[in-house]
């Protein structure tokens, strides 16, 4: 039986996100002929829609967790605020860059960034498949277990690995080096988020301390 409430909530959030990104890009751009904006929207929202349908049919509990964005940790609320400002500035700057023609990237850079984005999205989807407890907030679910296979056998936070590549490729797809500079804040934000997240996991998730001993790297093998 279809969960109409969950379907409605997911569709509403999807539509709201699409409208917000559209407005943040095309109002500053002052034109609907911002082709990089359309490319980015297609690369972001088409896979997102497909992933949402798959989660709704195969793992509705995971979808519920992914839709829950209400953060309880005080430190994480600050991280979310800074992230929101970062995205706002990056999208607006990309649109303004198109309008005023400040600086344009080579076509090959945009193509490579688009490929990296799609590969990162596939990696992100694989993380969701491997860890059905994955939430958008820092929390430990009832009966949650440590996942230490697949990508989790390489790094402790593969989701953040994928999002770093996703978010850093976004401004390049949008043809904005200025937005890219803004998005360089994201890896710094992730460092603070992981510090708090691991503190919570060590306290509340059985076996996580042992997992940390087994998997040494947080987001980049042989680096960090």
Q: Is 173 exposed, middle or buried (0-12, 13-18, 19+ CB in 10 A)?
A: buried
Residue 113 has what pLDDT? Answer: 97
Residue 138 has what pLDDT? Answer: 46
CATH of range 4-214; options 1.10.3720.10, 1.20.120.1630, 3.50.50.60, 3.30.70.980: 1.20.120.1630
Kindly report the pTM of this predicted structure. 0.86
Residue 176 has pLDDT above 50, yes or no: yes
pLDDT tens-digit readout, 137-161: 445 555 567 777 778 888 888 888 9
Q: Where are the domains of the chain?
A: 4-214
pLDDT tens-digit readout, 54-94: 777 777 776 676 666 555 556 667 777 888 899 999 999 99
d(C-alpha 179, C-alpha 87), whole Å: 9
Q: Around Cβ 156, how many Cβ atoms within 10 Å?
A: 25
Is residue 115 within 8 Å of 197, Cβ to Cβ? no
Cα–Cα distances in angstroms (integers) from residue 142 to residues 55, 58, 130, 133, 204, in the given order: 20, 20, 17, 9, 10
pLDDT tens-digit readout, 177-204: 999 999 999 998 888 888 878 887 777 7
Paired tokens of 115 = 């490929």
């Amino acid at each position: 039986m279809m969960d109409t409430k969950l379907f409605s909530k997911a569709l509403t959030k999807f539509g709201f996100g699409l409208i917000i990104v559209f407005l943040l890009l095309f109002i500053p751009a002052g034109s609907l002929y911002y082709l990089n904006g359309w490319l980015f929207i297609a690369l972001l929202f088409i896979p997102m829609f497909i992933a949402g349908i798959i989660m709704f049919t195969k793992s509705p509990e995971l979808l519920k967790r992914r839709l829950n964005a209400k953060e309880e940790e005080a430190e994480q609320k600050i991280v979310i605020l800074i992230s929101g400002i970062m995205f706002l500035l990056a999208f607006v700057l990309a649109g303004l860059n198109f309008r005023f023609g400040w600086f344009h990237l080579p076509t090959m850079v945009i193509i490579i960034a688009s490929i990296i984005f799609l590969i990162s999205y596939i990696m992100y989807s694989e993380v969701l498949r491997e860890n059905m407890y994955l939430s958008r907030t820092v929390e430990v679910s009832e009966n949650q277990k440590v996942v230490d296979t697949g990508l989790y056998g390489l790094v402790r936070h593969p989701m953040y690995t994928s999002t770093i590549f996703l978010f850093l490729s976004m401004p390049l797809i949008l043809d904005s080096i200025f937005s890219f500079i803004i998005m360089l804040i994201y890896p710094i934000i992730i460092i603070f988020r992981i510090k708090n997240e691991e503190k919570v996991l060590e306290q509340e998730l059985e076996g996580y301390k042992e997992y940390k001993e087994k998997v040494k790297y947080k987001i980049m093998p042989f680096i960090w």
